[in-house]
């Protein structure tokens, strides 16, 4: 199993490398609706995931399914426009395929973004939240099975999965840009149905401030490979039951990311500038 997975990854890395202008220093993952909000910088190259052997393709609206590689503030950045999810029917090996590509490319810094529901009653729809930690409620771990020794150890430390150094850097960048930035714990649920009010009450009791359906598996794999991770979430709506009158929809998620996308872009560019 290890050999097959590594062979597939190595073929994908080889196909990606020949398209890259030079070796990327930073990888940036754009979650639901954020690809269009972040846009495409001038210059650089666009690479469709379908051109990379073994790369799983997204099936959800708001996920572009391509890479953009180019310079941002003098740093070579590989931007992942969209992602795949466990609920789409993919295995976790497929969900974290891109993250493992980043590790094999030698990228040391990973910035992950997502859309989430606000569990914390002090949050509002549209808030940007720095992820300080996570809770994995997917019922699965991407490191299960034979360990990929080339990428990391059998048992990996998760005590500082979200880099304290990068979180401080992001707070400083937000302050300089006069952007309000909260900080909290993100919980990953399986989906694709949204959570019930009772589940949200349970998640709040566990210490979660946000809930979503992504990111955690990618961060586990990144930590396994020794990458430094920064996570920023856009709270696109209040989670079930927080506003008893509200109903939840994916259209609302996409609309909120469009509304606050420019602020997220401003923050991400400021962070990259300081790396």
Closest CA to 113 of 189, 13, 19, 27: 27
Does residue 63 carry a catalytic annotation?
Answer: yes
Q: Which of 80-84, 128-132, 163-167, 228-232 has the lowest mean pLDDT?
A: 80-84
Single out the catalytic residue among 213, 222, 240, 264: 213
CB 125 within 8 A of CB 244: no
Q: Which of 27, 115, 125, 235 does the annotation list as catalytic?
A: 115
Q: How confident is the model at residue 238 (pLDDT cuts 50, 70, 90)?
A: confident
Render pLDDT for 196-217 as a digit per residue (tens, 0 to 9).
999 999 999 999 999 999 999 9
- Is the model's pTM score more than 0.85? yes
Give 1's pLDDT tier (boundaries 50, 70, 90). Answer: very low
Chain segment 127-167, per-residue pLDDT in tens: 999 999 999 999 999 999 999 999 999 999 999 999 999 99
* CATH superfamily assigned to domain 2-274: Nucleoside phosphorylase domain (3.40.50.1580)
Catalytic-role residue among 25, 66, 88, 228 = 88
- Position 191 pLDDT exceeds 60: yes
Nearest to 180 by CA among 228, 117, 234: 234
Helical ranges in 18-61 per DSSP H: 34-38
What does the domain layout of the chain look like in residue ranges?
2-274
């Amino acid at each position: 199993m290890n050999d097959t997975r590594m062979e597939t990854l190595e073929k994908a890395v080889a196909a990606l490398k020949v398209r890259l202008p030079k070796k990327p220093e930073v990888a940036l993952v754009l979650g639901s609706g954020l690809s269009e909000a972040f846009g495409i910088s001038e210059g650089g190259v666009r690479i469709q995931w379908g051109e990379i052997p073994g790369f799983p393709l997204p099936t959800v609206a708001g996920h572009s399914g391509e890479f953009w590689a180019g310079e941002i503030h003098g740093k070579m950045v590989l931007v992942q426009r969209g992602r795949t999810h466990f609920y789409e029917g993919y295995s976790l090996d497929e969900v974290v395929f891109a993250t493992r590509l980043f590790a094999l490319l030698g990228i040391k810094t990973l910035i992950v973004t997502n859309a989430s529901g606000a569990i914390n009653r002090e949050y509002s729809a549209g808030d940007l939240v720095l992820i300080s930690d996570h809770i994995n409620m997917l019922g699965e771990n991407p490191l299960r099975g034979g360990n990929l020794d080339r990428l990391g150890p059998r048992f990996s430390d998760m005590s500082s999965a979200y880099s304290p150094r990068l979180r401080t850097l992001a707070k400083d960048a937000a302050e300089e840009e006069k952007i309000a930035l909260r900080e909290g714990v993100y919980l990953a649920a399986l989906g694709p149905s949204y959570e019930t009010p009772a589940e949200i009450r349970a998640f709040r009791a566990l210490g979660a401030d946000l809930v979503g359906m992504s990111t955690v598996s990618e961060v586990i794999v990144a930590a396994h490979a020794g990458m430094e991770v920064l996570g920023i979430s856009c709270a696109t709506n209040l989670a079930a039951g927080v506003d008893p009158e509200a109903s939840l929809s994916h259209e609302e998620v996409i609309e909120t990311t469009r509304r606050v996308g420019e602020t997220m872009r401003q923050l991400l560019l400021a962070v990259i500038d300081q790396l």
